[in-house]
Structure 1
Amino acid sequence: MSPEEQEPQQQPEHAADGLDLARTLARATARSTPGRRTAVRRTTERAPRTGRVSGAHPDDRDPQTLDAALTRIVDDHGWQVDLKVASMFARWTELVGPEVGAHSRAESFADGKLVVRTDSTAWATQLKLLAPALVRRLNEDLGHGTVVVIEVLGPHAPSWKHGARSVRGSRGPRDTYG
């Protein structure tokens, strides 16, 4: 039997995908332009050029120091004030002095309002008197207008409404005082 007389082999039917699909597309492209090699087209687009070319001078594509990279990230996201405020919380004793720092701590900061908690009412009174000078000192370190007002709070008062010996509807220990 000659090869022409042989029956062509039947290939199993299946979905053209993966490597088979790539081969089919390559053959179809090769047939459409006879005698020429076809260039493979890129599926990803290039980033637009900024007009700068690579050269001997430094540019943004060069390796950067960690300090420069972090500074750029902070500037891009606008985190300067947040970082300064976080630094203020960490360096509270250094900024206000050791004596005031031993009896107070910064609790929160929002919209120019700094909340400071003291460990006694006497220190709360003292800090209220020192508030204008403290605002001036903090703004020197953080930047002008960062801290607008300081709210000074005394120590947390105990709650008389909870516990083993509380009575519902009572006013706490004041009931026993004449």
Structure 2
Amino acid sequence: MTADDEQAPPEETGADRPADGLDLARTLARVTARSTPRRKAAVRRSARRAPGAGRLSGAHPDDRDPQTLDIALTRVVDDHGWQVDLKVAAMFARWPELVGAEVGAHSRAESFADGKLVVRADSTAWATQLKLLAPAVVRRLNDDLGHGTVVVIEVLGPHAPSWKHGPRSVRDGRGPRDTYG
């Protein structure tokens, strides 16, 4: 036994009670406390070399101060390069406001990739109307999102029913039509 063992407080576990987790933790703490002088010196040496370790907190603001949610979110968006993605998501949400209430009621933006915006219209008439308005819509969207973000708008008509029923079908077939004309 060493001198440290003699100075340690007597074990609180009686002969009638087995050692529990708290007793084991105390024993482990005593054992590691004996070997800490070398560790403490190593921690002090590494702390001296750590970046910003010599910096003391003061009255002036710095990076470690609490930040508002707005500043923190702006920093995250800037770090990840999500500015254009967030603007495009806002464009999808504000579609009726950007293209007008009437056109927005009969169309919706479906996807955006590589400067190509895909818009789906309720009917072929509204699809034609959107194709005619496409240059003005591109201009308005680029004013809102940034120059050159939207290059082209692809306007799609309404979803058509599928005429592929049954095991036999003809590729590029026109579906059920009048066979006499």
What is the TM-score with the length of structure 1 in the denominator? 0.72
Distance 1:119 1:40 in 2: 72
Structure 2 residue 31 is matched with structure 1 residue 23: yes
- Which of the two has greater helix per residue? 2
Give a deviation string over 1:95-154, Cα, whole Å, max 9, x none.
Answer: 111000011000000011000000111111111111010000001111111111100011
What is the TM-score with the length of structure 2 in the denominator? 0.71
Distance 2:145 2:100 in 1: 16
Following TM superposition, the consecutive aligned residue runs of length 4 or more in structure 1 with deviations greater than 6 angstroms are: none
Give the equivalent residue in structure 1 for 2:112. 109
Long gaps (5+) in structure 2:
1-24
Give the equivalent residue in structure 2 for 1:157. 160
Q: Which has the larger radius of gyration?
A: 1
- Tell me how far 1:51 sits from its aligned partner: 7.4
Residue type at the aligned position of 1:132? P
Distance 1:104 1:58 in 2: 49
Query: 1:132-143 to 2 correspondence within 5 Å?
Result: 132-143=135-146
1:68 is aligned, of 64, 71, 89, to 71
Long gaps (5+) in structure 1:
1-17, 30-36
SS at match of 2:61: coil
Distance 1:119 1:41 in 2: 73
SS at match of 1:54: coil
Query: 1:34-73 to 2 correspondence within 5 Å?
Result: 40-42=40-42, 45-46=46-47, 47-49=50-52, 53-73=56-76
2:134 is aligned, of 126, 131, 135, to 131
Structure 2 residue 153 is matched with structure 1 residue 145: no
Give a deviation string over 1:32-55, Cα, whole Å, max 9, x none.
Answer: xxxxx7672455954412875422
- Tell me how far 1:168 sits from its aligned partner: 1.8
Aligned length: 150
Give the equivalent residue in structure 1 for 2:83. 80
- Tell me how far 1:57 sits from its aligned partner: 1.4
Q: What is the RMSD computed on CA atoms of the aligned residues?
A: 2.9
